[in-house]
Amino acid sequence: MVVGTVSTSDGLKYLRNCPKGIDLIEIRLDTLLAKGISPDLIQESMAHRTTPTLLTLRTREEGGSFNWRSRQRVLFFLKFIPFADAIDLELTNIPRLGRVLRTVRRLKRDLVISSHSLKRKLTPLRLRRLLQQFRKTRASVYKIVGLARRRKDLHVLAEPLLNQSHMRLAIMASGPLGTASRISLPALGSRLLYVYLDEPAGPGQPGHATELAITDLRSYTSPKGA
């Protein structure tokens, strides 16, 4: 599925008029609130959506923009879940989001469980442990973002897609090879491809209308220090 991220007030218009080829619109609530956009405006836009939405509330440790208080974040989740079709929860925060998880189950929303390693690369051992943790909570998709500076870092991220395809994984990289991962890993079975509809929600994220020529791919497929 192609996921189009929205993180500005102008981007909310895509909830009524989604670009062709976008399967799911991600509402980056943390970024929208950090920019001072009214929660009521966001909720109203979601209520009139014509495309399914994925609700995401990142903390700063997860690459988010808003300085959440723990209880405040839970209350925002509970307020917006009825207007979303899928919810993104960070793996490490699930023990603190029991009420949110129960609401997701009760309202029969799809669940994406995420894990972000933005400053440390994922070793094969760390990846295996991460997959074991994922298995403890049922979800529609398990999403992994790992730092990739060299081509061998991408090889490590690709391995679960080849050997654990039954787990419904979405894997992508941050860092210098972030864009390369968004080109290559979906071809290996990564379930979600994130593009932005208004402005990038993360480093290396392409726009929904991005086109690449063969010469553009050279810098991604032949990185220094491979």
CATH label of the domain that carries residue 209? 3.20.20.70
CB 90 within 8 A of CB 109: no
Asked, for residue 45, whether it belongs to a domain, the answer is yes
pLDDT at 160: 96
Number of domains in the chain: 1
Q: What is the pTM of this model?
A: 0.91
- Report the pLDDT value the prediction gives residue 219, as an integer from 0 to 100: 59
User: Max Cα separation, the chain?
Assistant: 50
Q: What is the spatial order of strands in the sheet that 169-174 belongs to?
A: 169-174, 141-147, 110-117, 86-90, 53-56, 24-28, 2-6, 193-196
Residue 226 lies in a domain: no
Give 144-166 as a DSSP string.
EEEE-SSHHHHHHHHHHHHH-GG
Q: Answer whether residue 14 is part of any domain.
A: yes
Domain of residue 9, residue span: 2-221
What pLDDT, on a 0 to 100 scale, did the predictor assign at position 226?
52
How does pLDDT run along the chain (226 residues), one tens digit per residue? 999 999 999 999 999 999 999 999 999 999 999 899 999 999 999 999 999 999 999 877 776 777 777 788 899 999 999 999 999 999 998 998 999 999 999 999 999 999 999 888 999 999 999 999 999 999 999 999 999 999 999 999 999 999 998 999 999 999 889 888 988 999 999 999 999 999 988 777 888 887 665 556 565 555 555 5
pLDDT at site 214: 54
Question: What is the pLDDT, as a whole number, of residue 211?
Answer: 64
**pLDDT for position 224:** 55
40 within some domain: yes
**Phi, psi dihedral angles at 174 (to 5 degrees):** -110, 170
pLDDT at residue 221, as a whole number: 56
